Each structure stands twice: as C-alpha cells, then as structure tokens.
Chain A
Amino acid sequence: MLNKDSYLLTRHLSDAEIVRSADGELSPQRSAEAKAHLEACWQCRARMEEIQATITGFARAHHAEFDAQLPPAAGPRALLRARLTELGSEQRTEWWKGAFWVGFSLPRLAIVCVPLLAIAIGILWFQYSSQRDLTSTSVLFDTESAPNRSLTPGATRQVTISDVCSAPEEEVVGDVSISLRQRVLQEYGIPNARPEDYEIDYLIAPRLGGTEDIRNLWPEPYRTRMWNARVKDALEERLHEMVCSGQLDLHTAQHDIATDWIAAYKKYFHTNKPLPLSS
C-alpha cells in the first residue's frame, strides 16, 4: 500500500496538469508536487518538454502570421490623441451644461453668473483699450489662433512623396485670389479685416499636399498672438523637412497639422511655446 507522497510521485501527470504547470496555473501545493514528480519521472519530463516546444512553436507562428501586417504605430497614435482631445473637450462642455441646467437653482445661477459677467466685461474692456486700432470684429476673432474646424477641416490633393519633395516652394504656393480671400473673410465674419492683420493661410500647406480650397483656407492673425502665422510657417517647414527625410509619413503630417497645428508644433519642436524666429 502506497502512502500519499509515494502515490503523488509515482502517478504520472496528465496533459492538463502539464499544461497548467507550464503556464504557472497550478496551485502552489500542486505545483510543488508536480515539480517533485517531474524531477523523478523521465516520461513526464519528456512530455512536458514536448508540450513546451509546441507552445513555443505556436507562439512564434502566431506572431509571425500577423506581425508582418502591422503598420507603424505613429499614425494611429496621432489619430487616437486627436480623438481623445476632441472627446475631452466635448466632455468638458457637457459638464458645464449639466452644471447649469441640473445642479444650479436660479439664485445660485445668479451668484455664479454675476461675478463671471463682471470678469468678462473687464477682459473685453482691457482688450478694447489695448487694441483700439483694430476693428471690433477683428478684436474678437483675434483671440483664436486655430481655425474653426467646421469651416476649415483641411483639404488635400493626390500627391506622392516625390511630388511633395521635388517641387520648389514657389511652384506649389500661388497667391490666393482676391475673390477667394474675400469669401474666406466673409465666412469667418470679418469681411472688413485689413490685409496686414491676417494671412489667408492654408491649413494643410501646399508643400504638404494641401489645396487652394475654401475648406483649407482660413484667416490667420499676424499680430498680438503667440501662435501666429509666422510660427505656423515654421511648423510647415519642419514637417516638410521631416517628410522628405523619411522621418515622418505624409499622411501623419497632413493629419497632425489639420487636427491641431499648435499641438503639432509642440510635438515636432518639443516645446510648449514658439521658438524665436530666425528672421
């Protein structure tokens, strides 16, 4: 008659126990028993090696089957970042609306709104005082360095890398026609803006495949803002260099500049504020 320890040592391990042992899924006690048995039993050890070799073979086959198809992560990562930013801003808006309509009674609303209104009037007065030379509409618009995405989502033409990198800048950028310029200004509600205050800029630069299309043009302020047209020109130059040197794919460059050019500047220049311009 065998005692329990002898029984455990002489009883061969089942395939299920071997698989679970290889996967580290046995209980600590059973794992110790299985280990003791494996040390003593050639037959079970050989079976264990057989199963482990197959596991290794399958894991390699699984990776080999799909890894060659996986595209680089840079594009999907940039897309996800843009979507998360959008989602984050939507949720902030929803929270704000919810706070007003659900959480606040009328007297509380008044307590919150009156000081806010006073602050807003103060800010507007400060802007008016410091920029008297600008028209009132352009003062309001000048607070925006980014285009309105519903008016200017960006538009591209079919181009290859060699098209983008071989053509000189002057061949791809023509002057925006006066009528198109006027349509863009009207669309943004500033038909009387002065030419020296705004550049009618391409959201996706022509040298990155952008087109002269109203969906790809917006009035970008030159003055007063940290993130102005000249800073964006520097970003376009940087992206063009990166695309043509193979450090960045064209689609990612187009996507990043169209989604949020300021975020793209920070990302590709590794800085949170514009670098001093060289000229």
Chain B
Amino acid sequence: MGLFDEFRCPLLRYSLSLGLSIYDGEEVVQEVFLALFQHLHLGRSRKNLPGWLFRVTHNLVLKQRLANQTLVQRTAGDASLAEEHVDPTPSPEEQMSAAQRRYRLQSVVQALPENDQHCLRLRAEGLRYREIATVLGMSLGAVSISLTRSLSRLVRADGR
C-alpha cells in the first residue's frame, strides 16, 4: 500500500494528461496495482518499479482510449483556468499573470506531437531519461531530442 500511496497521484495525473476521464483513470491505476501484485507474486524483477508502473499505466491508458474510441477533449475547460487554479498568496495581478502563463504553457504542450507530450509529462512526474525511454519504447537519444525540442518551444512561448 506504500507504493499505492506514493504513486497513485502521479499515475492518475499521467492518465488524465493522456485524455482519460477521472473514472477511467482510477480504474487504470487499480489495474496497474493488481498487475504489480501479480508481477511480484511471480517473483519477477523489482528493479526500477517506478518505471514499470508508468510503463504499464501508459499501455493500459492506450488500451482504454482505444476501447473508448474517443479522446476526451480537454480544451473546453481551459478557458476557465484563470479562475480555477490560482495561488491564494500573491496579489490579484500576480495571480492573473501566473494563471495566464500556465494557460500559455498548457496551450503549447497541447499543440506538441503526442510523443513529445508524453516525454514532457513523464519528466514532470520525475522519471529519468532512461525510464522515459523504457516506458515509451524510444531510444535515450530520442528522449533527449524530444525534451529539448519541447522545452525550446515552451521557452519561446514563455516570452522570456
């Protein structure tokens, strides 16, 4: 249960970022931990369990999306980001500016190729390049190129 408490939120966030509904996301995370139970029960490798968890999550999310046949369109809710997610401590002007920045960055991310989005989201969840490469079935070099490309676009959009 310790692993569940540690990884439920990251795995659920990643599932949502791939377009699943919260209901499907929770179900996928349950399936992942049942699979982990079987994996450990069969005496299989305990090396790099975080990478294993994300890999199984990624595969199950793709399977679920195929079953649903339609991606959940997340763009509709974005217009209200400025009101929804504001930090309570800064001034109203700073809050608005921070929310606008988040909106700008999220818009750039959503315009990236899907694989680049996956790399970026997995990196944001704390995975190392080698783990991302394993989860997505890419080479280490391809992960590095993808992240550099995405970050360059984000930096440009960030307008610094």
Contact = CB atoms under 8 A, between A and B. Distances in A.
Interface of A: 15-16, 19-20, 23, 25, 50-51, 53-55, 57-71, 73, 76-77, 79-81, 83-84, 87-88, 91
Contacts of B13: 62-63, 66-67, 70
Contact of B160 (A54, A60, A80, A84): A54
Q: Is the interface of B mostly helix, strand, loop or mixed?
A: helix
13 contacts: A16-B148, A25-B129, A54-B158, A57-B154, A58-B120, A62-B121, A66-B16, A68-B85, A69-B16, A70-B13, A76-B29, A76-B30, A80-B30
B34 A23 contact: no
Contacts of A53: 158, 160
B16 A25 contact: no
Given A66-B13, A73-B5, A84-B37, A61 B155 contact: no
B124 A58 contact: yes
Nearest to B86: A64
B71 interface: no
Contacts of B144: 16, 19-20, 25
Interface residues of B, number: 42
Contacts of B34: 80, 83-84, 87
Contacts of B106: 61, 65
Contacts of A15: 148, 151-152
Nearest to A60: B102
A246 B106 CA distance: 36
- The 10 tightest CB contacts between A and B, nearest first, are A61-B102, A64-B85, A16-B148, A62-B124, A66-B13, A54-B155, A61-B105, A66-B16, A54-B154, A19-B148
Contacts of B61: none
B105 A50 contact: no
Contacts of A73: 4-5, 8-9
Interface of B: 1, 4-5, 8-9, 12-13, 16-17, 22, 26, 29-30, 33-34, 37-38, 41, 81, 84-85, 101-102, 105-106, 109, 120-121, 123-124, 128-129, 144-145, 147-148, 151-152, 154-155, 158, 160
A79 B109 CA distance: 34
A19 B147 contact: yes
A252 B33 CA distance: 19
Contacts of A77: 1, 4-5, 8
A23 B129 contact: yes
B130 to A, nearest CB: 9
A71 B148 CA distance: 33
Contacts of B22: 69-71
A77 B9 CA distance: 12
Contacts of A80: 1, 4, 30, 33-34
A76 B154 CA distance: 35
B105 A57 contact: yes
